[in-house]
Amino acid sequence: MLKDDLKYLYEIQKLDIEIDELSTNLESIPERIRQLTLDLEKHKNSIEKEKEAIEHLKESKSDVEKKLSNIKIALEKNKKKEKVIKTGREGESLLKEKENLMRDEEFYTNKLKEINDKIEKSTMNLSNLEDSLEDVINSTKEDIKLYNEKEQELKNEIEELEDKKKRIAVHIEDPAIVKKYERIRENRDGVGVVVIDKPICGGCFVKLPQEIYNELKRGEEIYYCEICGRILLWKGFIDE
């Protein structure tokens, strides 16, 4: 009977909606795994970057130390020359040179301190990143394993629901109705059949002509919403 076909169709739709939800979940898993792998790569990259930064800082440090050592030598020379000054002009120029050297010495001493602070900070950061790397690797592995399990679980659940659908579908007398339902469902946000208990389409909420409403309660013919095309099912049939 058509009434029963519609009822079975409605059961099939309930399963289809469940399958859709599970499929959405299933389809999101590869992206989640990709994100986890990406996060791990980021962590590893941070370690490499920090190592490079430290190398770079150490090079700068060595440059600054060389400069300071040259300044020190120059200051000693300046001091020696001071003892054998012959003219006032010589004395002036030596003093000027000394002042410049001392200013440079102060500048590079501060710079060295700054670099040392940065090295200390970066070294600490590197050590933290290295310490936590193993945990990140392990938790990533564990999460990916869980996602893979979840993936299999969802596939099994979907398969079970598909089987259930097939078992219901064999009871449907007119298989063409299933094809129609599937086509409507595809074009109408996953809802091919709507249950109604008043003369209003449960899909697009348009008002239905009273005659149609009365007719479809008889369950002798399939009625479609004139606006959205969905199959209309009188609520009384599924409550029977």
**Residues in contact with Zn ion by the rule CB under 5 A:** 201, 203-204, 225, 227-228
Q: Shortest approach of Zn ion to residue 137 CB, angstroms?
A: 54
Exposure letters 164-187 (e unless 16+ CB within 10 A, then b)? bbeebeeebeeeebbebbeebbee
Specify the length of the chain in residues. 240
Q: Shortest approach of Zn ion to residue 201 CB, angstroms?
A: 3
Taken in order 161, 166, 169, 170, the sign of the CA dihedral is negative
Q: Shortest approach of Zn ion to residue 230 CB, angstroms?
A: 5
Strands 231-234 and 193-196: parallel
Residues 6 or more apart in contact with residue 50 via CB below 8 angstroms: 122, 125, 126, 129
Query: Given the complex with Zn ion, which of 133 and 229 has the nearer CB atom?
Result: 229
Rg from Cα positions in the chain: 40
What is d(CA 123, CA 120) in angstroms, rounded to the nearest whole number? 5
Query: Given the complex with Zn ion, which of 22 and 204 has the nearer CB atom?
Result: 204
Query: Given the complex with Zn ion, which of 81 and 188 has the nearer CB atom?
Result: 188
Query: Given the complex with Zn ion, which of 19 and 225 has the nearer CB atom?
Result: 225
Q: Shortest approach of Zn ion to residue 218 CB, angstroms?
A: 20
